[in-house]
Amino acid sequence: MKRVQFEHSPIPYLFIAPQIIIIVIFFLWPAAQAIYQSFLLEDAFGLSSQFVWFRNYTDTIFSDAWLQAAGFTLVFSALVTFLSLALALLLAVKANEVIQGASTYKTLLMWAYAIAPPVAGLMGNLMFNPLIGDLYAFMNTIGFDFDHKLDSVDAGFVVVLISVWKQVSVNFIFFLSGLQGIPKSVTEAATMDCKSSFRRFWTITFPLLAPTTFFLMVINITYAFFETFGIIDTTTQGAPGGATNTLVYKVFQDGFRGADIGGSSAQSVVLMVMVLALTVIQFRFIEKKVHY
């Protein structure tokens, strides 16, 4: 049987070409380079190079430092994602109900959005400075023996706090617009049926926000994995004892500080696979529960 062939013009290809070219140059080609480099052991200047199969992988991934960073990254990402979504949702719901001065509230909650992670990190670092930091003094005044320079839980608290603070406003904007997208007729009908606003929220509002929540979850996990790099670099730099080192920061430390190109490439490839797996899980299993 002859397959049906449709004649089509090459113009659509021309239209998508710029996008494809950008993807190839800025994503596929570097990714291919990283995979290639991850099998090579080279001196930093690239003057002697040898193919070593999986040595870069075994050297780096089985090291205690990498495993520690992997553990922290997972806990950190889970905490940052959950807390920044939960807080933003709470704030959005409350701000949505405000009638007097609503736009002031909204603006105030939104404007941290414009702050870049390294700047947020620098400000947080200043506030937690043992000599002049107000938050450091505050934590110690209210009875905590707070010392993020040496205590790994305290250091984790600092980076989570700053990362969540930075991300809440982004989530807030999306949740707020999500809430405003819920038809008034639905909420009014619900109000007649059910007195408890708490139950109305979980049975009506939250399910209707599911597409927004799912989208934000994907965005936030990516944020926690990659973009918090700037916050780690300007605050703890992985200290104390590597307890706040994330996988991305370790790639940077080994590759850009330590000139170990093979080792850091291997780590990037593993990271790439991890994020790919995570994305597949999100879209295959969690998205099924989302009703658009």
Residues in contact with another protein by the rule CB under 8 A: 41-48, 50, 52, 55, 59, 63-65, 129-131, 149-152, 237-242, 253-254, 256-260, 262-263
- Which residues make Cβ contacts (< 8 Å) with residue 185, sequence separation at least 6? none
Measured CA to CA, the distance from residue 43 to residue 260 in angstroms comes to 8
- Which residues make Cβ contacts (< 8 Å) with residue 75, sequence separation at least 6? 156
Q: How far is the CB of 284 from another protein (least distance, A)?
A: 38
CB 238 within 8 A of CB 253: yes
State which residue, 228 or 236, has the beta carbon closest to another protein. Answer: 236
Checking 48-53 for CB contacts under 8 A at 24+ apart, the result is 52/262
Q: How far is the CB of 115 from another protein (least distance, A)?
A: 22
State which residue, 211 or 240, has the beta carbon closest to another protein. Answer: 240
State which residue, 23 or 150, has the beta carbon closest to another protein. Answer: 150
Q: How far is the CB of 30 from another protein (least distance, A)?
A: 13
- Which residues make Cβ contacts (< 8 Å) with residue 291, sequence separation at least 6? 207, 210, 211
State which residue, 71 or 258, has the beta carbon closest to another protein. Answer: 258
Measured CA to CA, the distance from residue 70 to residue 262 in angstroms comes to 19
Length of the chain: 292
Q: How far is the CB of 270 from another protein (least distance, A)?
A: 17
State which residue, 41 or 160, has the beta carbon closest to another protein. Answer: 41
Q: How far is the CB of 113 from another protein (least distance, A)?
A: 28
Q: How far is the CB of 143 from another protein (least distance, A)?
A: 20
With vertex at residue 284, the alpha carbon angle to CA 77 and CA 265, rounded to the nearest 5 degrees, is 50
Q: How far is the CB of 141 from another protein (least distance, A)?
A: 18
**CA nearest 237: which of 145, 131, 159, 160?**
159
State which residue, 33 or 180, has the beta carbon closest to another protein. Answer: 33
State which residue, 13 or 256, has the beta carbon closest to another protein. Answer: 256
CA atoms within 13 A on the CB side of 180: 10
In a 3-state reduction of DSSP, which class is residue 149?
coil
